[in-house]
Chain A
Amino acid sequence: MKVYVGVETYTDEVGHTLPRVVHWTDGRRFEIQKVLDERRAASLKAGGNGVRYTCLINGQTAFLFFEDPRWFVDAVKN
C-alpha cells in the first residue's frame, strides 16, 4: 500500500539531498541509519514512481520513494 510520510532531509553543500528521518503517520519517528542505494525506480506494488532510496532503519532495509514533491513508503522487508 502507498503511504505518504513526512521526511526530514539533509542537503549538502553541492546540493545533494538525502533523507534522514521518517515520520510515520501515527507520529512515530524512524531514524535512517544509512542510505544504501539511490536510483530512479517505480513501485508497481504501491503505484508510484520517483527516486527510490534503500534505507537501513532499525537494522532492516526499507524503500523510501521521493515522488516530487512528496515522499511515500512501499513496504518494509523483514
Chain B
Amino acid sequence: MGRRILHIDFNGFFASVECFFDPSIRAFPVAVTGDPEKRHGIVLAKNQLAKQFGVKTGEAIWEAKQKCPKLVCVAPHYDQYVRFSHLGRELYHEYSDLVEPFGLDENWVDVTGRTRDFHEAIDLANEIRERVHAEIGITVSVGVADNKIFAKLGSDLKKPDAVSAVLPDNYRDVAWRLPVGDLLMVGPSTKNRLNRYGIMTIGDLAKTDPAFLHAQLGKAGLTLYRFANGQDTSPVLPYGFETPVKSVGNGITAPRDLVNDDDVRLTVLMLSESVSRRLREHGFRANVIALSVRDCGLFSFTRQRRLKAPTFLTDEILDTAMQLFSENYDWQRPIRSLTVCASDLWPVDRPMQLNLFGEEEHRKRLETAERAIDGIRSRFGYHAVLRGRLLTDRTIGVMNPREEHVSHPVGYRA
C-alpha cells in the first residue's frame, strides 16, 4: 500500500480573500490588481466571475477592462493573505505533521498515517474542505493521490470547493487525458517542445520512450517521464523545512522608463545593494552574477558572468552587472525593468583563493563597512543610511527593493 497525499489549493486565493472581507463586491467580477501609479497595473488574481469574462492573471488592467467593463479592481492586502495562509496550515496540521507549503495558497498534506485506504483519505479531504469553508470562510479544491504530482493535478480538476482523486486504478483515465502543460514542471516552452514531438497529453508523455525524453530534455526529461507515470517519490516535507538557498535575486519595475546609463546604474546599484545584503544574511558569497533586462516593448534577455572570486560586495556585484549591461544592450528602446541575481553560492566560511596582488585587505575593509551598514539598517531602518548617489534621482533611487520588491519564486525541485 502506497502513500495517501492531499494537495489543498485555495480557490482564486487573493480574490477570494478580498471578496470575503467585502460582501458588497461578491456579486461582481473582481480582480486584485497592482498599483497603476507605480506601473504595477496588472491583474494579480481574479474571481470566478471575472474568469468567465476571460480575464487572465498577468494582463494589464486596461486589457482586462476591455473584456469586462464592469470589472471591480481592488488593491492587494498581503498581510491578510499571509494570515489566511497560516490559518489554513494550522487547520491542516490537525491532521498531519507533514504539511508542505507550495506558495501561499497551496499545501501538500501526507495523511498516510491517519487513513487506512483511499476511501478514508477522500472522506478526510471532504472533511477538511468543509471545515476550511466553515472556519476560514473561503473555499479549497483538494486532490487525493499516492504522490505529490498527481495530488496537485487532482486539485486542478474540479473547482471551486471540490475533491478529486487521481488514484492508481483511475489515473490512466483521469490524468492521462489532460494536456501535457498541466503537469507540474512543464512550462510554456517545455510544452511547446513536447507538442512539436507530438506529445500532446500527459498520457502521450507517459508512453514515450524515456531514452528519447532524456536525449531531448536531459535529466528533466526523465523526471517528467516519472511524473507522468505517477512515479514521483518525493516526500512531503515537514513544515518549517527550508530548501537550501540556491540563488539570491532582486528585480524591479522602475517607476518610470530608464532612458540612459545613469538611470540604469542607479537602479542596478540599488538592486546590487539589496542582493549583497541578502547574501550576507544567508551567509553566502556568490560566484556568478546575472542581469535580466526588459525593455518597454517587453522584450527581455538575461546574461550572466562568473566572477574571479566569490563576493558579497555591492560594488563588485554592481560592476559585473553593469559590464553585462553595456556589453549587451544597445539602447534601441527605454528599459522597463531590471533584475540582478547572484548564484553559485559559497558559504562565507568556505576557504577561498586570495588574490596575491594585495587587493584582499581593501576587500576585507569593504566587507566590514557593508556589515556595519547592515547593522545600522537593521536597527534604524533601510533609509537610515543611503548612498549619496541614490539621492540623485529620488523617483528611482529611494526605494527599498529588499522590503518592497523581493520576488518569491517557488521551485519544486531543490
Number of B interface residues, CB 8 Å? Answer: 11
Interface residues of A in 30-67 (CB under 8 A from B): 39-49
- Find out whether the CB atom of A40 lies under 8 angstroms from the CB atom of B135: yes
- Find out whether the CB atom of A43 lies under 8 angstroms from the CB atom of B135: no
- Find out whether the CB atom of B23 lies under 8 angstroms from the CB atom of A49: no
List of B residues within 8 angstroms of A41 by Cβ: 134-135
List of A residues within 8 angstroms of B87 by Cβ: 49
Number of A interface residues, CB 8 Å? Answer: 11
- Find out whether the CB atom of B137 lies under 8 angstroms from the CB atom of A42: yes
Chain B contact residues: helix, strand, loop or mixed: helix
List of A residues within 8 angstroms of B22 by Cβ: 47
Contact with A along B204-217 (1 / 0, CB 8 A): 00000000000000
- Find out whether the CB atom of B135 lies under 8 angstroms from the CB atom of A44: no
Instruction: Provide the bound-state CA to CA distance between A39 and B91, in Å.
Output: 13
List of B residues within 8 angstroms of A40 by Cβ: 135
The smallest beta-carbon distance between A42 and chain B, in angstroms, is: 3
The chain B residue with its CB closest to the CB of A48 is B21
List of B residues within 8 angstroms of A46 by Cβ: 23
- Find out whether the CB atom of A42 lies under 8 angstroms from the CB atom of B23: no
Cβ contact of B21, chosen from A39, A45, A47, cutoff 8 A: A47
List of A residues within 8 angstroms of B137 by Cβ: 42-44, 47-49
Contact with A along B1-35 (1 / 0, CB 8 A): 00000000000000000001111000000000000
Closest 8 CB pairs of A and B: A42-B137, A40-B135, A47-B21, A49-B137, A47-B23, A47-B20, A41-B135, A42-B136
* 25 pairs, CB–CB < 8 Å, chain A vs chain B: A39-B135, A40-B135, A41-B134, A41-B135, A42-B20, A42-B133, A42-B134, A42-B136, A42-B137, A42-B138, A43-B137, A44-B23, A44-B137, A45-B23, A46-B23, A47-B20, A47-B21, A47-B22, A47-B23, A48-B21, A48-B137, A49-B20, A49-B87, A49-B135, A49-B136
